[in-house]
Structure 1
Amino acid sequence: MLPVQQFIDYISQHKLFDKADHLLLAVSGGKDSVLMAQLFKLAGYNFSIAHCNFNLRANEAQRDEAFVKLLADELGVPFHVTHFDTKAFAEQHKMSTQMAARQLRYDWFEEIRLQYDYQYIAVAHHQNDAIETVLLNLVRGTGISGMHGILQKRGRLVRPLLFLSRQEIDELIDASGLSFVEDSSNQSSKYARNKIRLNVIPHLREINPNLEETFVQNIHRFAETEALLQKVVMETSERLFVEESGNIQIEIAEVMNLQPQKLLFFELLKPFHFTASVVDEILSSLNKQSGTSFYSATHRLTIDRAQLIISPLTDTKEELLYFHREESLRISDKNLSLHVSENINFQADKNFAYVDADLLIFPLVIRYRQDGDRFKPLGMKSFKKLSDFFVDEKVPLPQKDKIPLLINGNGQLIWVVGMRQDERYKVSATTKKVAIFELSNL
């Protein structure tokens, strides 16, 4: 017998949706989503089914689509399906296949929700998915916000199976004789989540046989701790942030007095998308000269005497592109690529820069010159103003604003692209990995 009343009670307890709401169910055809669809039917809720064919597993993908279409017919509910060229999308947007599939999936679900006026989208995540998410977030370093795992409700997305573990779902499927399809990629250790599921969690369960129950309790505590932290962060931002002409100003003295400083400052800057490594650099530079700037993908933070000024990056002359990883970027009629290697063959060519990879703080910024720019030209021991360097190199005035600069996440100039790199970032005897930047014609 399926736990219909427990399912209804869980939805009611967490106020996931109302009885009259019309929901869109994401159904892959696996055990979890099949059980969710059956519970929705037995509980008498109004729903439709949506299925994504990612065209990643050839005949398996077609089999899954046919199975879910048959399931929708058997349950007597509307069926939505779409097909994606996932690999092409991943390549175009320079992301992993898994991330591409996730973005495509949720974007399409929201599109269908709006088109057909569904109130919520239901996905079949369960307790073990939440455990895997917490462990992945711990490994990746997402901070306390990653410790609450998967929330029961987030915006228009609901997860009504979080009261069940994977083992309980398996037992329910077996006892009820429900049909399902198995995704063969779930058994592959190629993906990070699968590595956690197949290789890590079994060992943790040997230590604690009640792993799911323990994690449910931990996740609840983490969620409450995060709520308390966010209350403190909100109160602190209201006290420290002063908005002026579209910029945010913060007194450096107030930042110096934050306790705990690193945690609160990171959370304060989170809406501006500064990474943890850049936040560390900012804190270590609070007493440095005015004009030092740090970058996120969306904002610039500048030390200006006794203040920090956070401004959005809206001027295309100010910022151009970002390196988030090894990739190639187009700059006007040129191509600038980044490749990291342990073995290099140095070329005496100004279109190459060889940098100690361990000194890089991502994202790296490609921008044009600003007042106050300076660096240590390779081979020199002292700093030189960029403006003086251009004079010495006899760069024509109209060209000075067209020469791209490679800027580290801490605001330091790494390379005057195609001209001279900085002494501080050169490859040394202690270098383990070399970041090779190459400027080439398209």
Structure 2
Amino acid sequence: MLPVKQFVEFIEKKKLFTAGTQILAAVSGGMDSVLMVHLLKAAGFNFGIAHCNFRLRGNDALTDQEFTRNLAQQLDVNFHTTNFDTREYAATQQVSIQMAARDLRYQWFNHLCVTAGYQVISLAHHQNDAIETILLNLTRGTGIAGMHGILPANGNLVRPMLFMSRAQIADLVRQEGLAYVEDSSNASVKYARNKIRHQVVPILKELNPSLEVTFEQNLQNFRELEELLHLQVAQLKGTILTHHGDEVHIALDDIRQLRPQRLLLYGLLQPYGFTDTLINDLISALDKHPGRLIENTAYSLVVDRDRVIISKRKQQGDGNVQVNVGSTDIDVTYSQYRLTLLHDNSPLIVKGNPLSVSVDADLLSYPLTVRAWQQGDFFYPLGMKTRQKLSDFFVHQKIPVNRKNDIPMLVNGNGDIVWIAGYRLNERYKVTENTKKVTIFELIKL
């Protein structure tokens, strides 16, 4: 007899779906998914069947496709099927065949949900799949998130068969005389998961015949530990993370006091895409000289003097922008700023506004250039007779590493840096008593 009561109780306990939910059942034709749809039918749920042909097994794949079509007719439910050129997709996306198949099927499943009105996608993973996933994660390296195994519900994906083991499924299929198809690739140890299934798990079951029950208890413990960690991280986000415009700051003293430091820091920074390796880099930089820059593809993290500064990565300026002289005022847009210039026939000196500067117009050689700073740049800061490297100037001004590239450099036609916009004029271009004509530059943040 089918375990309909246990099936429904598990669905209700895990809140996977209700009697009125429109369910898309992913069916390969193997015994796991075949038993799942028979249970769905016996329990009275509304579902349709979806089957993917990945064109990887020739006639065998066509046989599986036809089997699932007949199964849908037998159960009197809607049937959806599609064929993929999995090898071409894998080559184009530069991913493995397994990853290509996974991407293709979930993209299609979600498409069916939108076009056919399904609300959840039901997958036939069972307890042994969860064990194999954990062992794979441990082999490859994982944090606590990789220890919770396969979740009963994850977004619109539900797994109502997680209360059963592979052996229990096989016994039921045999007792009920349910027809199914066997994927010959499941017996191959070419794939990592199959090696664990056929070579590792049998040895573990020799040590513990109740391996599935033990692992289910372990999974529950890991899930509760993960929930506890999430609660602790959420509390920390509200106390030690501060937002400053588009930046996030964390005081170094707060990081030093975290216990356990690495685990909690990973929880805080994971939303910004920082990996274990980058977290280790950050911890090693905490008590060293400030200015360490750590980046991933989306975010920059700077270890400043007393805090960590996280911000979205910006392009290295917007390239060089040329400023040509003309008879009218000129308006130049660069990065986050608009730079305007005004010609004046009197030696006017702008004071009290760091975003405006007066320059001796006769010393300018057009076209001027607006660009980001470069290693090796130097200038003569206003009030000084000796030159200074921009890198040293930035240090003295306590400008964090991640902000340096946002500062426009106004460069003369002869290569001199005339103005570090918003910060300091070059001493050699200041207005003096001998100045006859002035050009006024103003920086406006967009």
Looking at CA atoms only, which structure, 1 or 2, has the larger radius of gyration? 2
Root-mean-square deviation (CA, aligned residues, Å) is 2.5
> In structure 2, what is the Cα distance between the partners aligned to 1:258 and 1:373?
39
The amino acid of 1:93's aligned partner reads: Q
Q: Which residue of structure 2 lines up, in the alignment, with residue 290 of structure 1?
A: 290
Match of 1:179, SS state, is coil
The aligned runs of 1:210-249 (5 Å cut-off) are: 210-249=210-249
Name structure 2 gaps, 5 residues minimum: 319-371, 378-388, 393-411, 414-446
Shift of 1:290: 3.0
Indicate if the aligned counterparts of 1:251 and 1:308 stay in contact, CA closer than 8 A: yes
Shift of 1:56: 1.1
Deviates more, 1:91-100 or 1:29-38: 91-100
Q: Which residue of structure 2 lines up, in the alignment, with residue 118 of structure 1?
A: 118
The aligned runs of 1:19-418 (5 Å cut-off) are: 19-315=19-315
Indicate if the aligned counterparts of 1:291 and 1:303 stay in contact, CA closer than 8 A: yes
> In structure 1, what is the Cα distance between the partners aligned to 2:284 and 2:302?
14
> In structure 2, what is the Cα distance between the partners aligned to 1:228 and 1:371?
47
Match of 2:49, SS state, is strand
> In structure 2, what is the Cα distance between the partners aligned to 1:317 and 1:74?
64
CA-to-aligned-CA distance 1:355-414 (integer Å, 9 cap, x gap): xxxxxxxxxxxxxx976799xxxxxxxxxx9999xxxxxxxx99xxxxxxxxxxxxxxxx
Match of 1:150, SS state, is coil
Deviates more, 1:282-291 or 1:175-184: 282-291
> In structure 2, what is the Cα distance between the partners aligned to 1:373 and 1:70?
73
Q: Identity, % of aligned pairs?
A: 48
Indicate if the aligned counterparts of 1:49 and 1:80 stay in contact, CA closer than 8 A: yes
> In structure 2, what is the Cα distance between the partners aligned to 1:302 and 1:92?
36
Match of 1:214, SS state, is helix
> In structure 1, what is the Cα distance between the partners aligned to 2:157 and 2:272?
25
Match of 2:51, SS state, is strand
> In structure 2, what is the Cα distance between the partners aligned to 1:79 and 1:298?
41
> In structure 2, what is the Cα distance between the partners aligned to 1:80 and 1:196?
32
Shift of 1:238: 1.3
Q: Which residue of structure 2 lines up, in the alignment, with residue 3 of structure 1?
A: 3
> In structure 2, what is the Cα distance between the partners aligned to 1:198 and 1:169?
17
Q: 1:47 to 1:280 in 2, by over 3 A?
A: same
Shift of 1:245: 1.8
> In structure 1, what is the Cα distance between the partners aligned to 2:133 and 2:189?
16
Match of 2:114, SS state, is helix
Q: 1:232 to 1:49 in 2, by over 3 A?
A: same
Shift of 1:57: 1.2
The amino acid of 2:312's aligned partner reads: P
Deviates more, 1:95-104 or 1:201-210: 95-104
Name structure 1 gaps, 5 residues minimum: 319-368, 375-384, 389-396, 399-442
The amino acid of 2:2's aligned partner reads: L
Q: Which residue of structure 1 lines up, in the alignment, with residue 442 of structure 2?
A: none
Indicate if the aligned counterparts of 1:2 and 1:39 stay in contact, CA closer than 8 A: yes
Give the alignment's TM-score, normalised by structure 1: 0.71
> In structure 2, what is the Cα distance between the partners aligned to 1:226 and 1:27?
31
Give the alignment's TM-score, normalised by structure 2: 0.71
Query: Where does structure 1 differ by over 2 angstroms across 4 or more consecutive aligned residues?
Result: 287-291, 313-318, 369-374, 385-388
> In structure 2, what is the Cα distance between the partners aligned to 1:104 and 1:56?
13
> In structure 2, what is the Cα distance between the partners aligned to 1:229 and 1:266?
11
